[in-house]
Chain A
Amino acid sequence: MVNLNSVPPKNGQCYLALGLEGSANKLGVGIIKHPFLSKHENSDLSHYCEMEILSNIRDTYVTPPGEGFLPRDTARHHRNWVVRLVRRALQEANVSDPSQLDTICFTKGPGMGAPLHSVVILARTLSIMWDVPLVGVNHCVGHIEMGREITKAENPVVLYVSGGNTQVIAYSENCYRIFGETLDIAIGNCLDRFARTLKIPNEPSPGFNIEQLAKKSLNKQDLVELPYTVKGMDLSMSGILGYVDSLAKDLFNKNTKNKILFDPKTGEQLVTVEDICYSLQENLFAMLVEITERAMAHVNSNQVLIVGGVGCNVRLQEMMATMCRDRSNGQVHATDERFCIDNGVMIAQAGLLQFRMGNVVKDLSETVVTQKFRTDEVYVAWRE
């Protein structure tokens, strides 16, 4: 049994937490409320906090087509916007006196160094200004806790897929253990970089645009054959990216020597950009679903929770659902873009759980952010 009420809220009725997220190109600020209930005193209800979202604001740094976001420019974007976003979030949440807040949560890592730094500086400042304790949160744990609270999945196998991470995670003994992960680049990174090669817009997100292109593929029966690189519980994606990149380049340069893309006799084009996008998605997602299924068989679970930016992809959710239907009582839990994509609310949710277990920053020297911070390094005190 876990006591989530070990630290009482300031106003005696509910907890208020502000979450600041800026580990990549999204800057998110969120304010949430947890009611102070006696049932949380002695139970295992960390996925049932009755969280209320008071505000959830996000601003994304979008780069022109063909370009990725660089740490320096992203950090500048965050510095420019973060004060405005916090003001708006407080206003929307109707928090007139910010010193009412119980805690301010920030992303401690993993992520890009410069953007993390620019956000944590604000977190420290606010903490001193308003005299509110800080909580440093692992970004991945933030995604997991958010997903659990929104979908009410009690103990799922978590597939965490985003621009910087690809992991299959399951909980055991106060730790989110990583069962399988990528050996090189993350799936979102693979999709983003392919989008750059195709020079398609980064607005609203490169992965979303690839998904739309894939839907338009007219030749869904014949896939372009791509490498299938599952290695036990892990996977590798850099080779696939290199291969599709070379295909796309041949297509743009009208390299008729490529027999996969052009008919060797007539020179007629056989494959379109849409077909490559479709094949890429089918191939990558089949790999993800396979390692998830393996982890489920391993830990004897029948629930899956998909979190992270790539988790909004409808095709991925569809494939996962098909896989679960073949397992007895299988269930898929997924959320929409408000919660899947990095946001401040998820940091606030995981941070508030930590706060309620009495785990707060005691000295500002503990607020150093880190680019490398593994999911399994966090001691999960709020679960049994």
Chain B
Amino acid sequence: MSKEVIEQVVTYLTPNVPIVPISQGAEAFVFTTNVHPYNASACKTAGDIPVKYIIKYRPPKKYRHPSIDKTLTKHRTLSESRILAKLSQVPGLHVPKLIACDVYNGCIWIEFIGEDLPESHGFSNLKNFLWMYKTDPYNIAVEKVLFKVGEQIGLLHWNDYCHGDLTTSNLVLHQENGDWSPYLIDFGLGSASTLVEDKGVDLYVLERAIISTHSKFADKYNEWILMGFKSVYENEGKKGQQKLKDVIKRFEEVRLRGRKRSMLG
């Protein structure tokens, strides 16, 4: 991870906010911290588990013109924060809570979701979770989780939002009363959209992600996800049935299309 960027973040946040870098994407750096930006009582440890928050920072990109950089950083941080704020109001939908955002500096403060899986299987995202069960791939626990994943995506789409980058690492599992419950994270490419096309593409992207990382059991896995997805729409009566038909039809079309076509200027 680039030292320079970490220094930038430290100067921006001041030394009062200790940070631990956890990952670097193409666009943003992700850190954890135990400091809440405005609620002092929330910084204390709850029991013996230290409280953690996520800071997502979009560093300025030196390669592009400063004015392009400024507009993009502001636009993307703002849209991500907006979507998170909107989605946290949808009943039943699990997304991390937005705590604070500074769109001009490209910084978002959000709730920390997830934990470490037992027996050093890594962080509790769906990818590692499925790897953990690779010796027992059709365990009822896997089926339950994937069904819930489908439900989450169904809820997202039913409310006319799209994720844009659904992969198994962008689904984090959080334990509640001994049950795993999936959270959607990283809405950097998310949008509010009523188009069936976007929803079909979302489903297709997730299907591809599952096939490419867990190819042996992918058929069953995708079936379970789709079952969860359908259950949300089917609960919405006749209107839901109709919309579901449209989305699934488009999803199958996108799959056939294979996305890529011949290109000629």
A interface residues, Cβ below 8 angstroms from B: 110, 163-167, 178, 181-182, 185-186, 188-189, 221-223, 225, 228, 232, 282-283, 286, 289-290, 293-294, 296-298, 319-320, 322-323, 326-328, 371-374, 376
Closest residue to A374 on the B side, CB-wise? B262
Chain A nearest Cβ from B106, distance in angstroms? 14
* B26 lies within 8 A of A322 (CB): no
A283 to B25, CA, bound (A): 22
* B63 lies within 8 A of A319 (CB): yes
A163 to B2, CA, bound (A): 35
With A228-B72, A297-B25, A328-B2: A371-B264 Cβ-Cβ less than 8 Å:
yes
Sorted from nearest, which 10 A-B pairs have the closest CB atoms?
A: A372-B262, A189-B265, A186-B265, A297-B26, A286-B64, A322-B63, A294-B26, A164-B265, A319-B63, A323-B63
* B264 lies within 8 A of A110 (CB): yes
With beta carbons under 8 angstroms apart, the residue of B25, B68, B189, B260 that contacts A178 is: B260
Q: Quick one: which of B29-68 are within 8 Å of A by CB?
A: 61-65, 67-68
A328 to B3, CA, bound (A): 10
Closest residue to B1 on the A side, CB-wise? A328
Instruction: Indicate if B114 sits at the interface (CB-CB under 8 A).
Output: no
Chain B nearest Cβ from A371, distance in angstroms? 6
* A286 lies within 8 A of B68 (CB): yes
Chain B nearest Cβ from A293, distance in angstroms? 5
Q: Which residues of the other chain, B, contact A327 by a CB distance below 8 angstroms?
A: 2
With beta carbons under 8 angstroms apart, the residue of B2, B65, B260, B264 that contacts A326 is: B2
Chain B nearest Cβ from A168, distance in angstroms? 12
With A178-B260, A223-B67: A326-B62 Cβ-Cβ less than 8 Å:
yes
* B65 lies within 8 A of A282 (CB): yes
A225 to B75, CA, bound (A): 14
Given pairs A222-B67, A223-B68, A290-B64, 9 additional interface contacts (CB within 8 A):
A164-B263, A166-B263, A182-B263, A225-B71, A283-B65, A294-B26, A294-B27, A320-B63, A374-B263
Instruction: Indicate if B5 sits at the interface (CB-CB under 8 A).
Output: yes
A182 to B262, CA, bound (A): 11
* B26 lies within 8 A of A293 (CB): yes
Q: Quick one: which of B103-139 are within 8 Å of A by CB?
A: none
* A165 lies within 8 A of B5 (CB): no
A291 to B26, CA, bound (A): 9
With beta carbons under 8 angstroms apart, the residue of A232, A290, A294, A322 that contacts B62 is: A322
Instruction: Indicate if B176 sits at the interface (CB-CB under 8 A).
Output: no
Q: Which residues of the other chain, A, contact B64 by a CB distance below 8 angstroms?
A: 282, 286, 289-290, 319
Q: Quick one: which of B222-265 are within 8 Å of A by CB?
A: 260, 262-265
Chain A nearest Cβ from B209, distance in angstroms? 12
Chain B nearest Cβ from A271, distance in angstroms? 14
A298 to B209, CA, bound (A): 13
Chain A nearest Cβ from B157, distance in angstroms? 18
Instruction: Indicate if B80 sits at the interface (CB-CB under 8 A).
Output: no
Q: Which residues of the other chain, A, contact B260 by a CB distance below 8 angstroms?
A: 178, 181, 374, 376
A167 to B264, CA, bound (A): 11
Q: Which residues of the other chain, A, contact B25 by a CB distance below 8 angstroms?
A: 297
A370 to B260, CA, bound (A): 17
Pick 21 A–B contacts, CB within 8 A, sort by A. A110-B262, A164-B263, A166-B263, A228-B68, A228-B71, A232-B164, A232-B165, A282-B64, A286-B63, A286-B65, A286-B68, A289-B63, A290-B61, A293-B26, A293-B27, A294-B27, A319-B63, A322-B62, A326-B2, A326-B62, A376-B260
Chain A nearest Cβ from B254, distance in angstroms? 14
Q: What mask results when residues 58 to 94 of chain B are scored 1 for a CB within 8 Å of chain A, else 0?
A: 0001111101100110000000000000000000000
Q: Which residues of the other chain, A, contact B61 by a CB distance below 8 angstroms?
A: 290, 323, 326
* A164 lies within 8 A of B264 (CB): yes
Q: Which residues of the other chain, B, contact A372 by a CB distance below 8 angstroms?
A: 262, 264
A215 to B191, CA, bound (A): 37
A24 to B165, CA, bound (A): 36
With beta carbons under 8 angstroms apart, the residue of B63, B71, B265 that contacts A188 is: B265
Chain A nearest Cβ from B186, distance in angstroms? 13
Chain A nearest Cβ from B146, distance in angstroms? 24
Candidate in B260, B262, B263, B265 with the most chain A CB atoms within 10 angstroms: B265
Instruction: Indicate if B7 sits at the interface (CB-CB under 8 A).
Output: no
Closest residue to A220 on the B side, CB-wise? B65
A289 to B72, CA, bound (A): 14
* B265 lies within 8 A of A165 (CB): yes
Q: Which residues of the other chain, B, contact A189 by a CB distance below 8 angstroms?
A: 265
A228 to B67, CA, bound (A): 12
Closest residue to B262 on the A side, CB-wise? A372
A298 to B27, CA, bound (A): 11
Q: Which residues of the other chain, A, contact B68 by a CB distance below 8 angstroms?
A: 223, 228, 282-283, 286
* B65 lies within 8 A of A223 (CB): yes
Closest residue to A291 on the B side, CB-wise? B26
* B189 lies within 8 A of A185 (CB): no
